Amino acid sequence: MTPDQLYGWWLPARASTYAADLDRQLDVFHVAMGLIFVCWGAFMIYCLIRYRARPGVPAVYSHTGIVKSMIPDGIVLAFELFMIFVIGLPVWAHVMETFPEEKKANVAAVIAQQFAWNIHYPGPDGLFGRRDIKLISSGNPIGLDDADPAAKDDLVSVNQFHVPLGKPTLVYLSSMDVIHSFNVPAFRTKQDATPGMRVRIWFEPIMTGTFEIACAQLCGLGHYRMRGDVIVHTQEEFDAWLAKKQAEKAEL
């Protein structure tokens, strides 16, 4: 899909497995909110016209009580509890708490810094190489320690996150300096990357293409231009890309 097709005036295209679940809840909420608002508004306009001040018509003196106003409160409470326990928490658990198995997933680490997304792929051995902040240089943005055997087959890319279609991607998210937030609008993925913490997130794309990564948490003067792309390939393309990159690394 081109950006024109992906993004518009409302929710972006749904490019991950859980996007539809989350969108459905947004829809339910907005329909309910609209209903409540229209009812409130209609009642208010009715009152403003029906009970406008007219000479000779005094206001009704009453201290009526609790029961009547409880009815809308009760409806709203019931709606909210229904949303939380029946609809909300299962989806939250699915998106934020149920992680794919590492063996079956594509694993990568995203290390945010001012103002770039570093992607660290563990390579065929599935192990991330050791990192040390003392080794950070322009050629080695995350400080990967080449002496570590696990680091031999690791790949690092900046702002270009390559993932395969058809299996979930598990991301270890962290930050080197300040708090950033990993946001892929088309996937409905968002998670803060806090220095000193390493959190897991996952997504499973349902289409190939290029999807924007934005930083959602103010991280300094370059916050607005801290962007990258998730590039979703078919599995074959992804494997070919990996092989090509491994070969390039071996040449160096």
Partner 1 sequence: MEGVAVHPKAGAHETHPELSFVRKYIFSTDHKVIGIQYMITSLLFLLSGFTMMLLMRWQLAYPGHVLPIIGRFLPDTMAPGGVMLPEFYNQLGAMHGTIMVFLGVVPLGVSAFGNFVLPLQIGAKDMAFPFLNMLSYWIFLVGGILMLSSFAMPGGAAQSGWTSYSPLADLAPPGQTMWLIAMTFIITSSLFGAINFITTTMNMRAKGMTWMRLPFFVWCQFVTAILLVLAFPVLQGGAILQLMDRVAKANFFIPANLIFGGVPVEQPGGGNPLLWQHLFWFLAHPEVYVLLLPEFGIVAEVLANGTRKPLFGFKELVISLCSIGVLSFIVWAHHMFLSGMRTDVTKFFTVTTMLISIPSVMVLTCFLLSLRGGSIHFTTPMLFAIAFLPLFGIGGLTGLPLGFTPTDIYLHDTLYVIGHFHYVVVTGSLIALFAGIYYWFPKMFGRRMNVFWGKVHFWVSVIAMNGIFFPMLIQGMAGVLRRQYDPTAQVHNLPSLGLNKVMTWSAILLAVAQIPFILNFFISLFKGEKSTDNPWNATTLDMAACPSPPPHGNFAGDLTVHRGPYEYSVPGHKTDWSPQHVPEDQLTGRMQQQPAQQE
Q: Which of 156, 112, 151 is nearest to 131 (CA)?
A: 151
CB of 56 to partner 1, least distance (A): 8
List the 227-233 sheet strands across, edge first. Answer: 160-164, 227-233, 209-215, 180-184, 189-193
Task: Name residues whose C-beta falls within 8 Å of residue 140's C-beta, 6 or more positions apart in sequence.
Answer: 156
The pattern of x and - marking residues 56 through 75 that bind partner 1 according to CB under 8 A reads xxxxxxxxxxx-xxx-xx--
Complex with partner 1: residue 80 or 239, whichever CB lies closer: 80
CB of 87 to partner 1, least distance (A): 8
Euclidean distance between CA atoms 97 and 191, whole angstroms: 13
CB of 209 to partner 1, least distance (A): 12
CB of 15 to partner 1, least distance (A): 11
Q: What is the CA radius of gyration of the chain?
A: 26
CB of 114 to partner 1, least distance (A): 7
Q: Which of 166, 172, 25 is nearest to 90 (CA)?
A: 25
Q: Interaction with partner 1 in 138-157: which residues (CB under 8 A)?
A: none
Euclidean distance between CA atoms 56 and 45, whole angstroms: 22
Q: Which of 184, 175, 193 is nearest to 231 (CA)?
A: 184
Q: Interaction with partner 1 in 12-31: which residues (CB under 8 A)?
A: 12, 21-22, 25-26, 29-30
Q: Which two tokens stand for residue 229?
A: 């792309």
Per CB under 8 A, the list member of 197, 234, 236, 239 interacting with partner 1 is 197
The size of the interface with partner 1 (CB under 8 A), counted in residues, is 96
Backbone angles phi, psi at 43, to 5 degrees: -60, -40
Q: Interaction with partner 1 in 39-58: which residues (CB under 8 A)?
A: 40-41, 43-44, 47-48, 51-58
Per CB under 8 A, the list member of 147, 218, 240, 243 interacting with partner 1 is 218
CB of 119 to partner 1, least distance (A): 18
Backbone angles phi, psi at 196, to 5 degrees: 85, -5
Q: Which among 121-129, 161-169, 214-222, 234-242 is the span making contact with partner 1, rule CB under 8 A?
A: 214-222
CB of 234 to partner 1, least distance (A): 22
Complex with partner 1: residue 93 or 243, whichever CB lies closer: 93
Complex with partner 1: residue 200 or 245, whichever CB lies closer: 200
Euclidean distance between CA atoms 26 and 174, whole angstroms: 28
List the 116-121 sheet strands across, edge first. Answer: 155-158, 116-121, 106-113, 169-175, 199-203
Residue 251 is a binding residue for partner 1 (CB under 8 A)? no
Q: Interaction with partner 1 in 86-115: which residues (CB under 8 A)?
A: 88-89, 91-93, 95-97, 113-114
